[in-house]
Amino acid sequence: MALTLVEAAKLSNDTLLSGVIETIAQESPVLQRLPFIEIVGNGLTYNRENAAPSADFYDVGDDWDESTPTFTQATATLRILGGDADVDNFLKSTRSNIQDLEAAVVQLKARAVQSLFDDTFVNGDDSVDTKSFDGIDVLCAAGQAVSMGTNGGTLTLAKLDEMIDLVRGGKPDMLLMSRRTRRTLNELARSSGGFLEADRDEFGQMLQFYDGIPIGICDYIADDKTVGTSDDCSTVYAMQFGEGALSGLTAPGGLTVERVGSLEAKDASRIRVKWYAGLALFNSVKLAKLTGVRAA
């Protein structure tokens, strides 16, 4: 069973761990919604569905044609993600509220872990950094991409809809884009005589929707990609989450907070935030992207 980090935190009795997970999820629209599948071992080999089987009508006595789906075998490997947070013993002794000091230090480390995961979720490429995992830009199939043009172009609702329609089996669970692209989308909505829908999420933050699809903002989607002769291009992603779509992978226990203890070299104690995580796309039609999106 796949659980999001937010749901997994509800099952934990460790208040420090729950606080770390809440901090990570609160800062990341991806980690608020991306489910994680626990796997045993250091990786998962699976069949990614590329094309569905077909069916036909037949007359009595006709020979039946066999049709099977096509798959690509893929392997997603768990990677080691995390960092150490040291709490100085002098500050522990002289500060009146020890728990607040420890929580603040761990919270900053949790945000660093969240930032690294968000960056890798989009831009990860294990052929460039063998310690990381492939992100959605690499996982997105060639046939699942829409281009704004040879040299890019300003975002249009027609192109956005074309990209959304590449995601099959229901609407996408999220549109992921940069802040600049979100501003352009807001301008397009206003110029057409309307506004993007908005509501509050479970963290009390305002969340915008396009055609009922939540819009996630990622600061690691670059606005300076080169497409043709243009060097001010960005990308918009549409994705479905789930065990048959795009899902995170994690070792049993998920994200953990480990108290390493006192250090020999300095007067401090160490807390380690670590996560054995990866990403898997089980069906290529559950992820699409729109490339070459230029500034308005």
3-state secondary structure 20-46: HHHHHHHHCHHHHHCCEEECCCCEEEE
Residue 20 pLDDT grade (very low, low, confident, very high; cuts 50, 70, 90)? low
Give the pLDDT confidence score for residue 14 in this predicted structure.
55
Percentage with pLDDT > 90 across the chain: 47
Q: Which residues contact 237 (CB under 8 A, 6 or more apart)?
A: 122, 136, 137, 140, 175, 176, 177, 221, 287, 288, 289, 290
Instruction: State yes or no: pLDDT of 181 exceeds 80.
Output: yes
pLDDT of residue 6: 56
Q: How far apart are the first and last CA of the chain?
A: 43
So where are the chain's domains? 5-50+72-134+244-275, 141-242+284-294
* Res. 131: pLDDT tops 90: yes
Overall average pLDDT of the 76-104 stretch: 80
Rg (C-alpha) for the chain, rounded Å, is: 22
Two structure tokens written together for 267: 């007067």
Question: What pLDDT is attached to residue 5?
Answer: 60
Whats the size of the chain, residue-wise?
296
The Cα 83–Cα 116 span in angstroms is 11
Long-range Cβ pairs for the range 18-21 (8 Å, 24+) = 19/103, 19/106, 19/107, 19/110, 20/106, 20/107, 20/110, 20/255, 20/257, 20/273, 21/255
Q: Say what the pLDDT of residue 204 is.
A: 74
Tens digit of pLDDT for each residue in 29-78?
A: 898 899 999 988 888 888 877 777 888 899 998 888 888 777 788 888 89
What is the residue-averaged pLDDT of the chain? 86
The predicted pLDDT at position 107 comes to: 80
Amino acid at 295: A
- In this predicted structure, the answer to whether residue 1 has a pLDDT above a threshold of 80 is no
Residues 202-241 have pLDDT tens digits of 767 788 999 999 999 999 999 999 999 999 999 999 999 9
Banded pLDDT at 164 (limits 50, 70, 90): very high
Whether 135 shows a pLDDT value over 60: the answer reads yes
Q: Are 245 and 251 in contact (CB under 8 A)?
A: no
Q: What is the model's pLDDT at position 139?
A: 94
- The yes-or-no verdict on residue 278 having pLDDT over 90 is yes
pLDDT band at 261 (very low <50, low <70, confident <90, very high): confident
* Helix extents (H) in the chain: 5-10, 15-27, 29-33, 89-94, 98-123, 136-139, 157-164, 179-191
pLDDT higher than threshold 60 for residue 99:
no
145: Cα within 13 Å, side-chain hemisphere: 14
Mean pLDDT, residues 239-256:
90
36-60 b/e with 16+ CB inside 10 Å = b?
A: bbebeeeebebebbeeeeeeeeeee
Q: CB atoms < 10 A from the CB of 62, how many?
A: 9
| CA torsion angle 155 158 163 168 (round to 10) | 160
Separation between Cα atoms, residue 140 and residue 147, nearest integer Å: 13
Q: Do domains 5-50+72-134+244-275 and 141-242+284-294 have the same CATH topology?
A: no
Residue 4 has, within 13 A of its CA and on its CB side, a CA count of 15
**Lowest-confidence segment of 79-88, 207-216, 250-259, 274-283 by average pLDDT:** 250-259
- Beta-strand pair 268-281/79-88: antiparallel
Domain 141-242+284-294 has CATH 3.30.1930.10: yes
Domain 5-50+72-134+244-275 CATH class label: alpha beta
Q: In whole angstroms, give the CA distance from residue 142 to residue 10.
A: 39
